[in-house]
Each structure stands twice: as structure tokens, then as C-alpha cells.
Amino acid sequence: MTEAATLRCPSCGASVAPEAVECGHCHVTLHPVRCPWCFDWTFMEARDCTRCGSHAEPSARKVTCPSCREPLSTRKLGNASLSGCVRCAGVWADAASFKTICSDRETQAAYLGDGSLLAGPPISDPQASPIVYRPCAVCAELMNRFNFANCSGVILDSCRPHGVWFDPDELRRIVAFIRGGGLDIAREKERHNLELERRRFEHAAGAPERRASDLESPIPDSIGSARDLLRFLFDK
């Protein structure tokens, strides 16, 4: 594990301790947060994270932690933005950013890069606590729960128009699942299940069996398509 970079006051540049709420040199008030990209300490006022280089990004709308109901700190890296909760270490990704993370290998590599998850936030265990339907970080409507790609084993909370909430360590697990070929496995399972369903339907209807490739309607390939990935995930 790589040592964390030195934290500096965003006002005067003096070295400050993690979780400091005031600079000992210029006495400016500080708001320590965990960077949602690398989970190193930074300050809400700091433009760049000293560990991963993500940029502080003012949110166009108020984003609140679905678990703690505290304001989230948003930071951008490349074409994706993530918002993190300093209290519970959960992470919010808006719909467009989640699509980027799922489809762009450079963004995935940035998230899993050297120094990521420095403190190793506590791993969530969905089986250890009762099922809770959380409010969306943007609109506060209760989100849907789904097993990512139907076979990842990671249960996520999603709001169709706004984004996805990740409990501690869930985003890392999703990125590792994708980079390990998980979506290809999911696609093949979807093809297999669709073929079985069509065979059952044709048998019940007394029609001759046909291969899935012979049918007029092509087999959905939304799992493997970056363009349709969010639609596949949210249209459950």
C-alpha cells in the first residue's frame, strides 16, 4: 500500500493533518472529506486531490447521502464524476458517469489504479442487515435494488433518471467484475436463457424449433453495448 500524499491547506499551502478542521498556520476553516476516487483524505475546498488528481466539481443540484442524509463531495476524473460521503464511505455516480465507468477501460483503470481505496473502507455485507430501500441522492424518491448484470452478486440501489448508489467497496467490486469479463458471462447467460425460453414457447405452440439466430428479432445485446447499458440496468 502506497503512503498517502501530504495534505496541504488549500488556502496557504501549509501541511495539515488528515481530518483537520482548521489550518494551524492561517486558521482558515477546513472541511475534510474522503476522495470518492481513491479514498485518500482531501479537503472540500481543495481543487485537486493530491493522491489521484481528481478535480472538485460543484454539483449542479444538491446531492445528499442516501444513508446518512449528509451533503456529498463531488469530484471529477476524466469524463466521470463521483460523489462520496465522508461519514459512511458510500459513493454516488450519476447515470452518465456510471455508464462511463462501465464502458471505459481508462476510467476503470483510474479507479483501480495505484493507491486506490487506500484505507480500504469497510466492505458492506447485504446479508448482514435487513433490506432497506434508500432515497435517491438527488430526488429523494425510493430507489430500486438490483443485482448488477443479474449475476455479479453485488446488489446496487438505482434511480432510473439520476444514478446509482454504492455502499462501501461495491464500486470497486463492480469495476473488478467488468474487467474480469463479467459482462461477457452475463451476456452468454442472457442468450442461453432467451434460447431456452423460446424453445419452451415454440414447443408449447407446436411450432418447429428454430435457432435464436434464425428468428426475426435479434437477441438483445444490451449488456455488451455501452450505448444501451444503462437502459438494460434500469429497465428491470
Percent of the chain with pLDDT over 90: 19
- Say if residues 86 and 32 touch (Cβ distance below 8 Å): yes
CB atoms within 10 A of CB 232: 19
Domain locations along the chain: 57-179, 182-229
Residue, of 200 and 63, whose pLDDT is higher: 63
Distant-in-sequence, close-in-space partners of 219: CB < 8 Å, separation ≥ 6: 190, 191, 194, 212, 213
Q: Report the half-sphere exposure of 234 (CA within 13 A, side-chain side).
A: 18
Confidence tier at 127 by pLDDT (50, 70, 90): low
Summarised one tens digit per residue, pLDDT across range 46-76 is 888 878 889 988 766 789 999 999 889 899 9
Q: So what's the pLDDT on residue 118?
A: 39
Query: 92: part of which helix (H) or strand (E)?
Result: strand 91-94
22: pLDDT strictly greater than 60: yes
Average pLDDT over residues 79-87: 90
Calculate the dihedral angle through the C-alpha atoms of 124, 171, 142, 44, rounding to the nearest 10 degrees: 100
Summarised one tens digit per residue, pLDDT across range 205-232 is 765 555 544 444 443 443 343 344 445 4
The phi-psi region of residue 139 (left if phi > 0; otherwise alpha if psi is between -120 and 50; otherwise beta) is alpha
Q: So what's the pLDDT on residue 51?
A: 82
Beta bridge mates, 159? 163
d(CA 209, CA 81): 48
SS3 assignment, position 76: strand
Summarised one tens digit per residue, pLDDT across range 178-191 is 888 877 777 777 77
